[in-house]
Amino acid sequence: MRIVLKKGKQKELIESAKEGMSWDKLANEINHNSIYLLHELRNEKRYLSEEVYSKLCRIAKVNFDNFIIKKLDDNWGRSKGGKNSLGSTIILPKIKFNENLAEFVGAVLGDGNICYYKKGKKTGVYQVKIAGDYNLDKDYHMSYLKKLCFDLFGLEGKEIIVKDKHERFICFSSKKLVESLINEGLKSGDKIKNQITIPNWIFKNNEYLRACIRGLIDTDGCIHRMSNQDPNLLRINFKNYNKTLLEDARKAFVQLGFSPSKIIINKAFSLSRQKEISKYLKEIGFSNKKHIDRFRKFSLVV
Mean pLDDT over all residues of the chain? 85
What CA–CA distance (Å, rounded) separates 195 from 80? Answer: 31
pLDDT in tens, 6-50: 999 999 999 999 998 988 889 888 877 676 787 778 888 788 988
Walk across the sheet containing 124-133 and list its strands: 112-118, 124-133, 167-173, 158-162
Tell me the pLDDT band of 118, cut-offs 50, 70 and 90: low
pLDDT in tens, 42-82: 888 788 988 899 999 999 999 999 999 988 865 554 344 33
Mean pLDDT of 209-231: 88
Mean pLDDT of 112-119: 78
Tell me the pLDDT band of 249, cut-offs 50, 70 and 90: very high
| CATH topology identical between 99-193 and 200-297 | yes
* Cβ partners under 8 Å of residue 162, min gap 6: 134, 168, 169
What CATH number has the domain spanning 2-77? Answer: 1.10.260.40
* Cβ partners under 8 Å of residue 226, min gap 6: 233, 234, 235, 272
pLDDT in tens, 139-155: 999 999 999 998 898 88
Q: What is the per-residue pLDDT for 183? A: 83
What is the enclosing helix (H) or strand (E) of 254? helix 243-255
CATH architecture of 200-297: Roll (3.10)
CATH class of 99-193: alpha beta
- What is the percent of the chain with per-residue pLDDT over 90, rounded to a whole number? 51
